[in-house]
């Protein structure tokens, strides 16, 4: 099920993962979410929609003027919000990434995720960027172990 | 006076093992990735460069009036390209986006561009007064903080 409200994301990973491998995969998941969002893409790798004024696919006129463009919506001005995504200890077979409770960046992220921006939640304006498809997680895990194997064979 | 001897061999072995783990290639690579993130963010979003290792970040040298005009007319440039005479070393975005870890084993971490053209561009910017490929003092402190958090996360997951 997709994460449409939370500022923390629970991700299923192989139960055998632990220690440095688990943490590094968690960090790579954060890298992936940051990069995809910076490119103006949602969890499915598509631009935010609907693409009209006052909705998720475009910045408002006033904000676009300040920013210099109305789309793609890359959720990056100073970079602080995306930079604040953290790794949290999860249960066995689970990785948690997201925002520390009560921080300014958590409130900013929540505004984007539920489309509230300090007001009532609005699904048309929502940009639930803190999410990842299971197939992308599986690819990250696979690539990580492939990289390790290659490194070991180089030694 | 009473004396007691402490067997230090096993302590030494334990510490050596720990030290080996906290400087493993995976951790060094993570530090490289985090360094690239900081360099890109500072250069592209803040238009700042750093002229020596652990130096101070400062505004990048302005571009000439002639280049600013030429840049303004270019179609298909990066949406975050600087305006007016400001510089953020982003026209198409390829130079900063091509940063990668050249080497990150136990020892120094080397980062650079993954293609010749962007390497040449980086070298030219460093020569012409827009150096960006160093970490400032503040960024070094941030990297050490991130390293600390990363290692703490590993310990808590072990």
Mean pLDDT, contiguous 10-residue spans, chain A (155 residues): 90 95 97 97 94 83 89 94 97 97 97 92 94 98 93 71
User: C-alpha distances in angstroms, A65 versus A59, B81, B102?
Assistant: 9, 15, 39
Of B94, B93, B89, nearest to B79 by C-alpha is B93
Tell me the helix, strand and coil percentages in chain B, rounded to 5.
Answer: 50, 10, 40
Q: Which residues of A touch B79 (CB under 8 A)?
A: 68-69, 72, 74
Q: Which residues of chain B have pLDDT under 50?
A: none
- Domain of residue B120 covers 21-156
Dist. CA B63–CA B43, nearest whole Å: 15
- Residue B3: inside a domain, yes or no? no
- Residue B13: inside a domain, yes or no? no
The two structure tokens encoding residue A68? 């210099």
- Residue B68: inside a domain, yes or no? yes
Q: What is the pLDDT of residue A154?
A: 67
Q: Do B79 and A69 lie within an 8 Å CB cutoff?
A: yes
The chain A residue lying nearest B156, using CA atoms, is: A89
Q: Structural domain tally of chain B?
A: 1
The two structure tokens encoding residue A1? 């099920």
Q: What is the pLDDT of residue B1?
A: 63
ipTM over 0.95: no
Dist. CA A108–CA A120, nearest whole Å: 14
User: C-alpha distances in angstroms, B23 versus A24, B115, B118?
Assistant: 14, 28, 30
Of A116, A109, A115, nearest to A131 by C-alpha is A109
Dist. CA A17–CA A14, nearest whole Å: 6
- Residue B25: inside a domain, yes or no? yes
- Residue B5: inside a domain, yes or no? no
User: C-alpha distances in angstroms, A95 versus A17, A26, A139?
Assistant: 10, 6, 15
Q: What is the pLDDT of residue A79?
A: 96
User: Most A CBs within 10 Å: which of B20, B26, B150, as the mutation test of the A interface?
Assistant: B26
Q: How big is chain A, counted in residues?
A: 155
Tell me which H or E stretch contains B112: strand B110-113
Backbone angles phi, psi at A17, to 5 degrees: -65, 130
Q: What is the pLDDT of residue B23?
A: 73
Of A114, A112, A136, nearest to A4 by C-alpha is A114
Q: Which residues of A touch B48 (CB under 8 A)?
A: none
- Residue B69: inside a domain, yes or no? yes
């Amino acid at each position: 099920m997709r994460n449409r409200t939370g500022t923390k994301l629970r991700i299923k990973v192989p139960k055998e993962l632990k220690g440095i491998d688990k943490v590094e995969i968690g960090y790579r998941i954060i890298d992936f979410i940051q990069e995809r969002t910076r490119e103006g893409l949602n969890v499915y790798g598509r631009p935010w929609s609907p693409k009209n004024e006052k909705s998720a696919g475009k910045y408002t006129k006033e904000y676009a003027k300040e920013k210099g463009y109305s789309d793609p919506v890359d959720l990056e001005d100073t970079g602080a919000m995306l930079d604040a995504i953290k790794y949290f200890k999860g249960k066995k077979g689970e990785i948690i990434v997201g925002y520390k409770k009560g921080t300014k960046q958590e409130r900013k992220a929540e505004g984007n995720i539920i489309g509230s921006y300090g007001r009532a939640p609005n699904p048309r304006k929502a940009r639930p960027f803190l999410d990842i498809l299971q197939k992308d997680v599986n690819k990250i895990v696979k690539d990580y172990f492939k990289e390790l194997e290659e490194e070991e064979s180089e030694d | 006076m009473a004396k007691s001897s402490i067997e230090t061999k096993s302590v030494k072995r334990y510490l050596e093992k720990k030290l080996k783990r906290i400087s493993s290639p995976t951790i060094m690579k993570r530090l490289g990735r985090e360094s690239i993130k900081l360099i890109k963010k500072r250069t592209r979003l803040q238009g700042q460069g750093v002229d020596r290792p652990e130096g101070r970040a400062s505004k990048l040298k302005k571009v000439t009036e002639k280049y600013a005009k030429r840049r303004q007319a270019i179609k298909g440039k990066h949406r975050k390209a600087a305006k007016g005479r400001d510089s953020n070393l982003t026209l198409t975005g390829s130079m900063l986006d091509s940063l990668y870890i050249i080497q990150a084993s136990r020892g120094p971490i080397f980062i650079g561009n993954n293609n010749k053209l962007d390497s040449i561009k980086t070298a030219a910017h460093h020569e012409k007064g827009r150096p960006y490929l160093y970490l400032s003092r503040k960024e070094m402190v941030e990297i050490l903080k991130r390293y600390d958090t990363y290692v703490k996360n590993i310990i808590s997951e072990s």
